[in-house]
């Protein structure tokens, strides 16, 4: 019996070790190496980590690394908050207001339609809409509401958050919807029978019971935003920093040890955030 | 072409050099001996700009050899050349990247004896001259990295030898692109890029090693500092240049930064940006959309770049023959004329001229007004009869080079500072 269980777990363990654990170990190792423009030198050094935090003792101005992390964390928080509110509302509608399973399935599929095309195309399609001479600005000018085009619609924090929300709300909807579907409807009736208002039912019954879904959705969104550099690049006009972008620039200039050091730090920060989230709920117990 | 018998006369002649000599002779005589054998496919690694479908089709029609394009960015070409030299048979890269690629030993020097038109390659590459006049050689000028002593050398030769690192394909001199319809006044200097008049309407390249050169042109034009060599700055000079960029960015000068050809075209065509560092064919692309765009010559001169074909050492035998055949075919005129018509310059002007109409040559290369409508290779209208090419003739443009795209000694530091600019 025991043997079979181990055997069953083996294929996945192997895949896991080969494609996740080993590469991660490799990245961690390289982050302690030295490099020139064209070769890696396997000599142990802390220099890469020191370079990442170069200038961070300066109190006048934040160093690049801290500034970049602050900016990334800001996007993380905003996107998390907005996708959570929208995702919860959409899931709530699908789970409790749509009565027939057929309609539920249909609406759910509708939500996935944007995923039929690539991320980048979904992003770029915002550009002609938000641009200086874009649809929105022309519409507003045509209606006489503004004289000069609104500049902050595109290549700004606003457009980055907008694209993130557009791209990743689905990752909130799915797990929250899943949690909601497993709520015993009798509990809602009981709440109503005891005189709870809609709001009270939502806050005191549904939200606590959806905690697992919310945490899983949050993990999805946070890990994606922490590592993203394409969305921030395209929608931010390439002039908003993100940790992923720094790593990408460094790898394209063959500075692999520096990039590895940055990646290790990013991984640690993200893991800490996830660890914090899992402290709020024991996912294994809830699933 | 030299006589292969010369080689056997040398004291160190071995069977190997004999064979090499014979191969060289075959190559020199017209190189068609790969024909009629099994189909060969060449994996061609380069940037998307040079990888034209029409060129691959024409080459396959002429020789039966297939070209499989691997289009990546300039930075990724270098990355693959260093980390995965077996993943391609032919590399098309910029001369400045050689400083990183050559020391790895992944490229073999190209035997010019096997290149039919080698001695007709423009003097810009071999001597750093245009029409007998020296041009600016700040940065990684091709003549500095053009030759190696022997095929497997890992350092550059100081003077011309038989072995070339890259055989030049296309090159050009870059300057600022502007929207004359939105600026409505003459632009004459690089310093206009950071002129607050264009606040929120300017853009700069986000490829650090090129972007910093544009910034350096601005710094010099604005009279802030004069560099001994813009293409090889000291840490202090890098700090100064990046600070100038950061100050401008904080003041809201840039609408966006761009990294690839299409981004720059879209920024300009949509009117998000009215002035930016730009590539000549990108200006052409904006124009084919019917939007007025100018590749503006500036009094401080141009920032030049050049790309060429390299042969990885992993390619041997028939594949190597096919690579040489492709390079020879490429220099033979058809491809050169095709590229000239897109606004690039080809490496061997003589053969390209033979494949172009006289009025095309006059417009593209001599800076004369077009006597009939100028069309792109796809048939789009580029310029009406009577118009003159921006920047004038080949000699005016390439003679006005101020510096070349470069890899600096302080490259790592520069990239770090560039990240600071992006984060500012």
For B188-231, write each residue's pLDDT tens digit.
Answer: 999 999 999 999 999 999 888 889 999 999 999 999 999 999 99
- List of chain A residues whose C-beta atoms are within 8 Å of the C-beta of residue B412: 37, 253, 255, 258
Cβ partners under 8 Å of residue B126, min gap 6: B143, B146, B160
Chain B residues whose C-beta is within 8 A of a chain A C-beta are: 73, 75-76, 78-79, 82-83, 99-101, 103-104, 200, 206, 208, 249, 254-259, 266, 270-272, 407, 411-412, 415-416, 418-420, 422-423
A141-188: pLDDT as tens digits: 999 898 888 888 999 999 999 999 999 999 999 999 999 999 999 999
A253 and B258 within 8 Å at the Cβ level: the answer is no
DSSP β-bridge partners for residue A125: none
Contacts of B415 in chain A (CB under 8 A): 249-250, 253, 255
Please check whether residue B209 is in contact with residue B96, taking contact to mean a CB–CB distance below 8 angstroms. yes
What are the chain A neighbours of B256 within 8 Å (beta carbons)?
A: 155, 237-239
A-chain CB neighbours of B419 within 8 Å are 64, 241, 246, 249
Are B271 and A132 inside 8 Å of each other by CB? yes
Using the beta-carbon criterion (under 8 Å), do B103 and A38 form an inter-chain contact? yes
Instruction: Identify the bridge partners of residue B33 per DSSP, sorted by sequence position.
Output: none
In percent, how much of chain B has pLDDT > 70? 91
Torsion of CA A156, A162, A163, A165, to 10 degrees: 140
Give the count of Cβ contacts less than 8 A between chain A and B.
88
Give the ranges where A39-156 is alpha helix by DSSP (H): 47-52, 64-92, 101-112, 119-124, 127-130, 135-142
Paired tokens of B235: 């840490």
Which of these, B338, B357, B347, B208, lies nearest to B281 by C-alpha position? B338
Complex prediction ipTM: 0.80
* Count of beta carbons in the 10 Å neighbourhood of residue B381: 12
Residue A151, chain B, CB below 8 Å: the answer is yes
A250 inside 8 A of chain B by CB: yes
pLDDT in tens, A67-103: 889 999 999 999 999 999 999 999 999 999 888 889 9
Tell me if A169 sits within 8 A of A79, measured CB to CB: no
Q: Are B256 and B273 in contact (CB under 8 A)?
A: yes
pLDDT of A55 reads 75
- For residues B110 and B167, give the distance between their C-alpha atoms in angstroms, rounded to a whole number: 8
DSSP string, B14-50: -HHHHHHHHHHHHHHTT--TTTTSS--EEEEEE-GGG
Q: Quick check: B376 and B110 in contact, CB under 8 A? A: no
Per-residue pLDDT tens digits for B144-164: 999 999 999 999 998 899 999
pTM above threshold 0.90: no
Cα separation of B140 and B105, whole Å?
19
The total of other beta-carbon atoms located within 10 Å of residue B285's CB is: 24
- From the list B209, B182, B221, B197, the residue with the least C-alpha distance to B302 is B221
Q: B22 falls in which pLDDT band (50, 70, 90)?
A: very low
């Amino acid at each position: 019996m025991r043997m079979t269980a181990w055997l069953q777990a083996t294929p996945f363990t192997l895949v896991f070790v080969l494609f996740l654990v080993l590469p991660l170990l490799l990245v961690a190792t390289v982050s302690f190496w030295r490099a020139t423009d064209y070769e890696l030198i396997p000599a142990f050094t802390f220099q890469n980590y020191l370079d990442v935090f170069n200038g961070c003792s300066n109190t006048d101005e934040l160093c690049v690394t801290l500034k970049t992390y602050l900016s990334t964390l800001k996007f993380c928080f905003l996107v998390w908050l907005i996708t959570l509110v929208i995702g919860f509302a959409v899931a709530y509608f699908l789970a409790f207001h749509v009565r027939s399973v057929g309609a539920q399935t249909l609406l759910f599929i509708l939500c996935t339609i944007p995923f039929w095309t690539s991320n980048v195309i979904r992003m770029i399609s915002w550009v002609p809409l938000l641009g200086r001479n874009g649809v929105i600005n022309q519409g507003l000018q045509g209606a006489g509401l503004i004289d000069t085009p609104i500049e902050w619609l595109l290549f700004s924090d606003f457009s980055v958050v907008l694209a993130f929300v557009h791209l990743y709300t689905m990752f909130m909807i799915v797990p929250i919807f899943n949690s909601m579907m497993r709520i015993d409807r009798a509990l809602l009736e009981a709440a109503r029978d005891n005189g709870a208002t809609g709001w009270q039912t939502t806050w005191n019954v549904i939200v606590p019971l959806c905690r697992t879904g919310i945490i899983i959705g949050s993990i999805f969104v946070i890990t994606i935003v922490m590592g993203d550099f394409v969305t921030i690049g395209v929608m931010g006009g390439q002039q908003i920093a993100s940790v992923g972008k720094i790593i990408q620039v460094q790898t394209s200039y063959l500075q692999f040890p520096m990039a590895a050091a940055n990646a290790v730090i990013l991984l640690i920060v993200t893991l800490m955030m996830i660890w914090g989230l899992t402290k709020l709920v024991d996912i294994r117990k809830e699933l | 072409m030299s006589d292969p018998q010369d080689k056997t006369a040398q004291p160190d002649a071995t069977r190997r050099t004999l064979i090499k000599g014979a191969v060289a002779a075959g190559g020199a005589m017209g190189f068609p001996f790969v024909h009629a054998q099994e189909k060969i496919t060449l994996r061609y690694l380069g940037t998307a700009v040079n990888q034209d479908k029409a060129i691959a089709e024409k080459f396959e029609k002429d020789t039966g050899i297939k070209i499989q394009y691997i289009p990546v960015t300039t930075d990724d070409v270098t990355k693959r050349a260093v980390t995965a030299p077996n993943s391609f048979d032919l590399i098309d890269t910029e001369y400045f990247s050689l400083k990183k690629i050559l020391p790895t030993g992944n490229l073999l020097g190209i035997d010019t004896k096997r290149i039919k038109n080698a001695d007709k390659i423009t003097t810009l590459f071999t001597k750093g001259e245009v029409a007998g006049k020296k041009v600016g050689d700040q940065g990684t000028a091709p003549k500095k990295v053009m030759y190696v002593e022997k095929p497997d050398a890992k350092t550059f030769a100081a003077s011309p030898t038989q072995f070339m690192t890259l055989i030049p394909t296309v090159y050009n001199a870059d300057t600022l692109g502007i929207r004359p319809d939105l600026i409505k006044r003459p632009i004459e200097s690089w310093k206009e890029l950071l002129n607050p008049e264009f606040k929120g309407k300017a853009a700069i390249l986000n490829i650090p090693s090129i972007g910093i050169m544009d910034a350096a042109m601005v710094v010099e034009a604005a009279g802030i500092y004069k560099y001994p060599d813009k293409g090889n700055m000291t840490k202090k000079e890098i700090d100064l240049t990046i600070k100038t960029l950061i100050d401008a960015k904080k003041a809201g000068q840039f609408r966006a930064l761009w990294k690839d050809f299409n981004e720059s075209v879209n920024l300009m065509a949509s009117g998000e940006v009215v002035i930016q560092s730009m590539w000549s064919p990108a200006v052409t692309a904006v124009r084919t959309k019917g939007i007025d765009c100018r590749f503006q010559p500036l009094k401080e001169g141009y920032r030049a770049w050049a790309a060429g074909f390299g042969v990885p050492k992993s390619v041997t035998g028939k594949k190597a023959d096919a690579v040489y055949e492709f390079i020879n075919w490429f220099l033979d005129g058809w491809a050169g004329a095709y590229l000239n018509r897109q606004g690039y310059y080809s490496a061997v002007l003589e053969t390209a001229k033979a494949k172009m109409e006289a009025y095309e040559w006059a417009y593209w290369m001599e800076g004369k007004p077009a006597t009939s409508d100028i069309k792109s290779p796809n048939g789009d209208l580029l310029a009406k009869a009577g118009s003159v090419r921006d920047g004038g003739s080949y000699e005016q443009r390439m003679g006005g080079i101020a510096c070349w795209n470069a890899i600096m000694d302080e490259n790592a530091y520069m990239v770090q500072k560039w990240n600071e600019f992006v984060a500012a």
